[in-house]
């Protein structure tokens, strides 16, 4: 139950449904912020890789 995880408190400002919140929790994210940070990181990685491709092809 959620009471067993005080640090996993669902907060409305997470901007995601309770069900999605629980799903993220099962995936091992402590909080929505962790998930958001990771998404941001992936986005940057993708941008970097895309830039590299562009550089390679423009040579």
Per-residue pLDDT reduced to its tens digit, 30-39: 777 777 888 8
Question: Is pTM beyond 0.75 here?
Answer: no
Domain containing residue 22: 2-58
Distance CA 13, CA 10 (A): 9
Give the chain's domain count.
Answer: 1
Residues 6 or more apart whose CB falls under 8 angstroms from that of 2 comprise 8, 9, 10
- The pLDDT value recorded for residue 45 is 85
Q: What is each CA distance from 34 to 27, 30, 42, 54, in whole angstroms?
A: 11, 6, 12, 31
- The pLDDT value recorded for residue 1 is 44
Query: DSSP of 19-57, one letter per residue?
Result: HHHHHHHHTT-SSHHHHHHHHHHHHHHHHHHHHHHHHHH
């Amino acid at each position: 139950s959620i009471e067993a995880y005080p640090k996993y408190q669902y907060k409305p400002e997470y901007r995601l449904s309770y069900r999605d919140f629980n799903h993220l929790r099962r995936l091992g994210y402590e909080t929505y912020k962790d998930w958001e940070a990771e998404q941001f990181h992936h986005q940057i990685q993708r941008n970097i890789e895309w830039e590299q491709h562009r550089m390679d092809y423009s040579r």
